[in-house]
């Protein structure tokens, strides 16, 4: 600490010792010399500030980036849409109400997009072709006029949902 203070004081004294004779010998350029002096003092201040950062981790300045410890990457953020779909699947397996009003709209959307993209047919306008392509089990779930059963009735078992998803992927 004392050594750093001594170096700063020496640098400021040296700059001042140069400024004073210049101002006395060439008074018409006084503002120019004072401006240069201020820049030199600012440089000394910045150098001192950067040097003080070295005091926090002196070894870090001496090691190469390859010798420094590698930073471990953080866990990636969960994708919000996947979390939402996961919740819908869990709720749809829990009871009939959540299956009908939460999971079924998502399955209808996916089935409609797959049928329209591959075959150019709309789920609601051509139900006979859609039924033939989707199969009875999935069609009963996504058909337009499906009504909700008992609210607290059983939802869709995971094995059935896996079959439906596999069928949608094959479309």
* pLDDT one-digit tens code per residue, 106-142: 999 999 999 999 989 988 888 889 989 988 889 888 9
> Token pair of 134, please?
């989707």
- The region, left, alpha or beta by phi > 0 then psi within -120 to 50, assigned to residue 135 is left
- List the alpha helices (DSSP H) in the chain: 2-25, 30-56, 80-94, 96-98, 104-119, 127-134, 136-142, 158-170
Between the CA of residue 145 and those of 99, 141, 165, what are the distances in Å? 15, 10, 21
pLDDT tens digit at each of 171 positions of the chain: 677 788 888 888 888 898 888 888 888 988 998 999 999 999 999 988 887 776 666 565 566 666 666 666 677 777 888 899 889 988 888 888 888 899 999 999 999 999 999 989 988 888 889 989 988 889 888 988 888 878 888 888 888 888 988 888 888
Between the CA of residue 114 and those of 48, 54, 124, 144, 165, what are the distances in Å? 66, 61, 13, 16, 12
Model pTM score: 0.54
> Token pair of 104, please?
């079924």
Q: What local confidence, expressed as pLDDT, does residue 71 receive?
A: 61
Q: What local confidence, expressed as pLDDT, does residue 6 receive?
A: 83
């Amino acid at each position: 600490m004392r050594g750093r203070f001594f170096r700063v004081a020496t640098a400021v004294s040296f700059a001042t010792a140069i400024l004073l004779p210049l101002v006395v010998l060439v008074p018409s350029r006084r503002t120019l010399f004072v401006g240069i002096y201020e820049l030199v003092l600012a440089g000394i201040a910045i150098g001192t500030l950067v040097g003080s950062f070295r005091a926090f981790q002196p070894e870090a300045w001496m090691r190469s980036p390859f010798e420094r410890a590698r930073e471990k990457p953080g866990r990636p953020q969960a994708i919000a849409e996947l979390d939402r779909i996961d919740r819908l699947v869990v709720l749809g397996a829990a009871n009939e109400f959540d299956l009908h009003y939460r999971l079924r709209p998502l399955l209808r959307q996916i089935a409609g997009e797959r049928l329209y993209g591959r075959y150019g047919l709309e789920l609601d306008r051509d139900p006979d072709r859609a039924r033939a392509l989707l199969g009875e089990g999935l069609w009963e779930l996504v058909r337009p006029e499906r009504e909700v059963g008992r609210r607290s009735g059983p939802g869709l078992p995971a094995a059935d949902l896996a079959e439906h998803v596999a069928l949608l992927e094959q479309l």
